[in-house]
Amino acid sequence: MKYLMLLLVAITTFSCTQEDENKYKIIGDASGLEDGTKIMIYSIERGMTEPVLLDSAFVNNGKFEAKLLKKESPVINYLSIKSLNANVVYFPGTEDLKATIYKDSVQASFVEGGEDNALYASYIKKMKEFGKKRAENMKRFREARQALDNGLASNIQKENRALATEEKNYKKEIVKNNPNSIFSAMLLSELISQKTVTPTEANEIIANFSPKIAASPMVKDIKELVSSMSKAEVGQKAPDFSAPTPDGKMLSLKEAMGKYTIIDFWASWCKPCRMENPNVVKVYNKYHDKGLNIISVSLDKDGQKDRWIKAIEDDKLTWNHISNLKFWNEPIAKMYNVRSIPATFLLDENGVIIAKNLRGKALENKIASLLGE
């Protein structure tokens, strides 16, 4: 009996230890938060429309603690403090982490532990430095304008452009120099969305990622995005598409082609689009007889077809129009990686994209150079 009891104790001890070994702890310092404040822990996972709630903890005497399953694969989590309406991003792994939450300065809150969290912390610090410089330059610029010192104002603008370039290069260096970091993948996704890196540059960076990061769901999504972007880049054949016209008939890009063709993404609710329309009308009226065609793809919403048709009439857009009326879920916009409007793609007679996002005088000059005055 004595030996049986010892065996049971040994098994129980081993089981508890084994369970603990499969988990990591988040030990939190939340001084200033009231006892009972709930801190929820979420994971952002591919394929899920909403973040996944992993666990929650409650503040007691300025402290909180949670145990979560260790993650061998790279993921992104965050702490959510609803009473402050704030989130704190962190990168879980296999080691214990320490969270510091500031009630009066949640933006300064952080999580320590692991290379990803250290990299993220240094990035946030650097971004604050860039932000401080921009604010200082803005103040100097306003003072220069008030003093009517146009020379100084112009120099400050040059400094701001240089600062923006420095910030972009800093982000690129982080991504290139940290191939084993899921934060690098997260930052790459941002750079791609902002078109700071080209699809070619993105593919080179992805090729340099470690096998662990390259196999992550986030990088798989990035690869799909880059592949989509590559199909609608200058020098590529424009992907064909078709959609309903205002009268309900199906019209394809192939059917709408001219000697030169503009694919114009817009919407009736988009003020910059409506402001640009008179210029597009002017160019179309001047060069349509010489071979310029336009097919406009609207990102109007379902149930607002009448607004779309009225905008076409009001703005005198006498060319081809199509739309699935799916707002930002418009499949043609996704096919062309359109993330803001107005957006334009200029095609030659073979359907090859020769220019993108030309507006105003730049659009007129380009068409003039192709079809003559």
Predicted pLDDT of residue 39:
93
Name the token pair of 318: 């006498």
357 DSSP 8-state letter: S
Class of domain 242-371: alpha beta
Looking at the DSSP bridge assignments, the partners of residue 186 are: none
3-state secondary structure 63-106: EEEEEEECCCCCCEEEEEEHHHCEEEEECCCCCCEEEECCCCCH
Residue 62 has pLDDT above 80, yes or no: yes
Q: What is the CATH number of domain 22-113?
A: 2.60.40.180
- The model's pTM is 0.66
How much is the pLDDT for 218? 87
**Mean pLDDT calculated for residue range 223-235:** 82
- Lowest mean pLDDT across 9-13, 111-115, 233-237, 270-274: 9-13
Structure confidence at residue 93 (pLDDT): 83
pLDDT-derived band at 262, boundaries 50, 70, 90: very high
Q: pLDDT of 104-133, one tens digit each?
A: 888 889 999 989 999 999 999 999 999 999
Q: Which of 108, 97, 92 is nearest to 43 (CA)?
A: 92
Question: CA–CA distance from 109 to each of 88, 121, 187 (Å)?
Answer: 7, 10, 20
Question: Alpha-carbon distance 188 to 181, whole Å?
Answer: 11
Query: What whole-number distance in Å separates Cα of residue 364 and Cα of residue 356?
Result: 13
Q: What is the pLDDT of residue 47?
A: 59
Percent of the chain with pLDDT over 90: 69
Return the closest-CA partner of residue 155 out of 141, 168, 139, 142. Answer: 141
pLDDT value, residue 49:
62
- Average pLDDT across the chain, whole number: 89
What tokens appear for 259 in the block?
Answer: 């000697």
Q: pLDDT band for position 14 (50/70/90)? A: very low
CATH code 3.40.30.10 region(s) in the chain: 242-371
3 — pLDDT class (breaks 50, 70, 90): very low
Determine the Cα–Cα distance for residues 107 and 118; give it in Å rounded to an integer: 16
